[in-house]
């Protein structure tokens, strides 16, 4: 962190001035400089959930905010690596996400890290609609802003222990201390374990159990009036199974038991450090946010998900990323307001992705494409794929707003440049026999470099009418999802080269098809917020229309085992979002509804046009209802006794571009009863209380269809101490 220390020294030297020109209470060390905390008055759709609701409703991950934020869907399938998110009809199963994530004002650069424990989180904001002007790449669907608990806002010790069915254990402990009103620090940790919910009938063991743990340390320092320094360090580890995929029988319309013969697992070590320095002036604030992230993860799959020995796949990644952002922002209470910034990042990914072919896979996937007199001598062989992918990007942005009477006009532009290259080396060695030749070696290699870059202009414009009861807004924003490379298809490419070499037909294969361009979209939205009945009733509504070009779509080659991302489509999506909160007596009622109609305008695959078909994997509707009731009870028994009853509805979800397979609308019930007395508390909770059966994912592999089933009923008890 030598560079960071040097920067702080330079920052202080450059901007230092006499102390006591601003009161200490005027410094907001936690809030983002980019965006106002007063989200109800902003020209975008946002759902905010605070610490009390997160803990009382036992929300442990972003996945559990599905449907609570309208048109927001993060399915729970596979493992913590598969962190796909869908918003307003758009999303991505692999590679680049449509939603960005920021934790304590630092961007998360690898979506493999999106799925983590919501441990001591102060609040989560899910902002929907393109946010690319301020946040750049991969925020065409919105951004998730997460704020952890601040040691300057909370002091004490927190300990919680939870136990649920399937031997699910969750332990959290943390200490928060303010040594003075200018310096606070905290350290916390958690550990989770579960035996798993799904049994692999081939082995007789649960396939989705595992452990994960993390430690977070944070310090916040106000070295002088008008200065703040905030540093958060996190290290985490995950070791889990997953991928409880069931073979689908299309003739009978039934799902077969989970049955695959090879172990599947996902392991991840991640480390991050973020430093945010702010300097407050009378009319503006300057901030610097410096981040470092390291991810080392490994996935192992029985890639055919059958009891037969076809093939397995591994993927080991090591990624370093560095981000630096400078932001200067004027005060919000001026008639003319502005925000400007510079952002740069660099990340380096090294990946090994070997595919291990076994006896059945060699016979069915390779040998059948060869003449009958051609014999592969091995019963097993490997195709090894090695990649180095460095990526860097720079951006500059400026957003300004002006108030005229009751109207706020806001316009912004971001210039974003990104460059990525891929060094690839695929290789394999098999031996073959033909008439006249026995056990001949056949080495096959595929080596080279590909590059992709993009320059994006990302404008945004909004008009807001303010009223004492709320606001009405209209906006248009451009978003983009970064381009990249199809590393998953290299095994197929090498198989093709190998077969052509065996046949002696020659080969002119190149890797140009492994590249894909950025996806672009324009987002049009009108909406508003109302506060009625002295603030007891809050209403929010929006209408949106999205026009997407160069859409990145996952395509499975007819004869292959892999998948590729291709700029194969154009789509449009329109819909509405509604949210309401009502406080009446001892009741608090939260309700949301989202509707999305997302269809292909242009998409042809294998000669079939899917124009007019619904986009797969994203739900057409989401809905949620949660009622919290403060049960009247004597103070000698409890300080608080709160009953939460909730319901989330999701569907219909189409699983393929032809819209021939789908998941109908389903609802999940959850409830909790929370008791608190003094420093102690306890809770009984349950999720999917009616044990609803539903599917969360579908995919096709080597001619077979598979589904992932949602988790069954979960229930447990938790105890906590706050000192």
| Structural domain boundaries enclosing 137 | 2-722
Vertex 182: Cα angle to 178 and 183 (nearest 5): 45
Confidence tier at 28 by pLDDT (50, 70, 90): low
Q: Helix (H, G, I), strand (E, B), or coil: what is residue 52? A: helix
Q: Strand order of the sheet with strand 121-128?
A: 45-50, 121-128, 142-148, 99-103, 106-107
User: Residue 254, Cα to own-chain centre: how many angstroms?
Assistant: 31
The rounded distance, in Å, linking the Cα atoms of 363 and 375 is 10
Residue 506 has what pLDDT? 64
List the single range of 281-290, 312-321, 488-497 with lowest mean pLDDT. Answer: 488-497
Residue 14 has what pLDDT? 38
CA distances from 641 to 56, 60, 644, 671 (A): 11, 21, 10, 13
The rounded distance, in Å, linking the Cα atoms of 395 and 418 is 9
Supply the CATH number for residue 15's domain: 2.40.170.20
Percent of the chain with pLDDT over 70: 94
The rounded distance, in Å, linking the Cα atoms of 148 and 123 is 7
Average pLDDT of span 412-437: 93
Average pLDDT of span 470-491: 91
Q: Are 270 and 113 in contact (CB under 8 A)?
A: yes
**Rounded mean pLDDT of the chain?**
90
Confidence tier at 214 by pLDDT (50, 70, 90): very high
Confidence tier at 230 by pLDDT (50, 70, 90): very high
- Neighbour-count burial of 445, counting CB atoms closer than 10 A to its CB (0-12 exposed, 13-18 middle, 19+ buried): exposed
| 643 DSSP β-pair partners | 629, 673
Q: Is the pLDDT of residue 503 over 80?
A: no
- Specify the number of domains making up the chain: 1
Confidence tier at 25 by pLDDT (50, 70, 90): very low
The rounded distance, in Å, linking the Cα atoms of 657 and 617 is 9
Tally Cβ neighbours within 10 Å of residue 633.
13
Please list, in sequence order, all residues whose beta carbon lies within 8 angstroms of the beta carbon of residue 66, skipping any fewer than 6 positions away. Answer: 72, 73, 74, 75, 622, 648, 650
Residue 18 has what pLDDT? 33
Average pLDDT of span 502-508: 69
Q: Is the pLDDT of residue 13 over 50?
A: no
Average pLDDT of span 110-130: 93
What backbone torsions phi and psi does residue 12 show, to the nearest 5 degrees?
Answer: -70, -40
Assigned token pair, 615: 């986009």
Average pLDDT of span 43-70: 94
Residue 700 has what pLDDT? 87
Candidates 442, 393, 420, 601; CA nearest to 516 is 420
Candidates 246, 165, 239; CA nearest to 202 is 246
Residue 8 has what pLDDT? 39
Average pLDDT of span 94-110: 92
389 or 11, which is more confident: 389
Average pLDDT of span 487-496: 83
Q: What is the DSSP string of 140-167?
A: SSEEEEEEEPPTTT--EEEEEEEEETTT
User: Residue 4, Cα to own-chain centre: how many angstroms?
Assistant: 28
Confidence tier at 568 by pLDDT (50, 70, 90): confident
Kindly compute the dihedral angle of the four CA atoms of residues 477, 107, 48, 278, in this order, to the nearest 10 degrees: -100
Residue 561 has what pLDDT? 55
Q: Are 124 and 503 in contact (CB under 8 A)?
A: no
Residue 19 has what pLDDT? 33
Average pLDDT of span 630-652: 93
Average pLDDT of span 156-178: 96
Candidates 509, 519, 532; CA nearest to 450 is 509
Q: Is the pLDDT of residue 5 over 80?
A: no
The rounded distance, in Å, linking the Cα atoms of 89 and 571 is 10
Q: Is the pLDDT of residue 40 over 90?
A: no
What backbone torsions phi and psi does residue 422 show, to the nearest 5 degrees?
Answer: -135, 120
Residue 27 has what pLDDT? 61
Q: Is the pLDDT of residue 4 over 50?
A: no
Q: Are 423 and 433 in contact (CB under 8 A)?
A: no
């Amino acid at each position: 962190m030598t560079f960071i220390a040097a920067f702080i020294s330079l920052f202080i030297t450059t901007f230092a001035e006499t102390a006591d020109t601003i009161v200490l209470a005027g410094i907001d060390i936690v809030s983002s400089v980019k965006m106002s905390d007063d989200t109800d008055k902003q020209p975008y759709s946002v759902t905010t959930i605070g610490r009390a609701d997160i803990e009382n409703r036992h929300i442990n991950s972003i996945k559990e905010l599905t449907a609570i934020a309208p048109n927001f869907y993060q399915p729970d399938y596979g493992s913590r690596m598969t962190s796909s998110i869908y918003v307003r009809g758009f999303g991505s199963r692999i590679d680049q996400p449509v939603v960005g994530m920021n934790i304590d004002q630092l961007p998360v650069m690898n979506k493999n890290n999106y799925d983590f424990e919501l441990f001591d989180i102060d609040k989560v904001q899910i902002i929907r609609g393109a946010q690319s002007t301020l946040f750049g790449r991969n925020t065409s669907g919105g951004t998730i802003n997460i704020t952890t608990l601040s040691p300057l806002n909370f002091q004490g010790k927190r300990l919680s222990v939870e136990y649920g069915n399937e031997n699910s254990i969750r332990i959290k402990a943390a200490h928060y201390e303010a040594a003075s009103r200018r310096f606070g620090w905290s350290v916390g940790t958690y550990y989770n374990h579960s035996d798993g919910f799904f049994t692999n009938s081939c082995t007789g063991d649960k396939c989705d159990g595992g452990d994960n743990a993390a430690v977070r340390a944070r310090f916040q320092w106000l070295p002088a009036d008008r200065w703040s320094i905030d540093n958060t360090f996190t290290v985490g580890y995950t070791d889990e199974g997953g991928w409880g995929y069931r073979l689908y029988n299309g003739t009978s319309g039934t799902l077969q038991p989970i049955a695959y013969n090879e172990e599947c697992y996902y392991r991840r070590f991640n480390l991050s450090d973020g430093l945010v320095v702010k300097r407050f002036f009378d009319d503006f604030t300057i901030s610097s946010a410096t981040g470092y992230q390291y991810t080392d993860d490994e996935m192992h799959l029985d890639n055919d998900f059958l009891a037969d020995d076809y093939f397995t796949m591994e993927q080991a990644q090591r990624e370093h990323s560095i981000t630096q952002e400078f932001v200067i922002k004027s005060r919000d209470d001026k008639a003319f307001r502005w925000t400007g910034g510079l952002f740069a990042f660099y990340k380096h990914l090294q990946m090994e992705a070997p595919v291990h072919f076994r006896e059945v896979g060699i016979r069915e996937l390779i040998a059948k494409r060869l003449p009958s007199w051609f014999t592969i001598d091995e019963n097993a062989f490997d195709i090894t794929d090695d990649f180095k992918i460095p990526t860097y990007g720079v951006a500059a942005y400026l957003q300004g707003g002006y108030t005229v009477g009751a109207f706020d006009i806001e316009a912004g532009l971001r210039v974003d440049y990104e460059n990525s290259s891929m060094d690839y080396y695929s290789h394999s060695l098999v031996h073959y026999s033909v008439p006249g030749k026995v056990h001949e070696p056949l080495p096959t290699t595929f080596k080279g470099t590909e590059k992709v870059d993009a320059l994006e202009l990302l404008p945004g414009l909004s008009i807001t009418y303010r009223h004492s009861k709320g606001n009405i807004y209209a906006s248009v924003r451009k978003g983009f999802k970064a381009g990249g490379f199809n590393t998953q298809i290299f095994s197929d490419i090498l198989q093709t080269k190998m077969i052509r070499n065996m046949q002696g037909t020659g080969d002119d294969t190149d890797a140009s098809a492994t590249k894909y361009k950025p996806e672009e979209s324009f987002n049009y939205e009108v909406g508003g917020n109302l506060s009625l009945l002295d603030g007891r009733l809050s209403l929010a509504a929006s209408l949106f229309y999205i026009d997407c070009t160069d859409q990145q779509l996952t395509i499975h080659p007819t004869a292959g085992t892999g998948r590729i991302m291709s700029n194969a489509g154009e789509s449009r999506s329109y819909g509405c979002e509604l949210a309401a909160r009502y406080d009446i007596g001892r009741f608090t009622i939260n309700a949301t509804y989202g509707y999305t109609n997302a269809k292909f305008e242009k998409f042809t695959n294998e000669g079939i046009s899917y124009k007019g078909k619904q986009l797969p994997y994203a739900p057409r509707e989401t809905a949620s209802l949660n009622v919290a009731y403060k049960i009247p009870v004597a103070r000698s028994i409890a300080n608080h006794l709160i009953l939460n009853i909730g319901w989330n509805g999701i569907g219909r979800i189409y699983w393929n571009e032809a819209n021939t397979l789908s998941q109908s609308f389903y609802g999940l019930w959850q409830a909790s009863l929370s008791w608190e007395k003094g420093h102690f508390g306890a809770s009984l909770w349950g999720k999917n209380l009616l044990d609803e059966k539903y599917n969360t994912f579908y995919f096709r592999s080597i001619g077979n269809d598979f589904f992932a089933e949602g988790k069954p009923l979960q229930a447990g008890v938790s105890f906590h101490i706050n000192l």
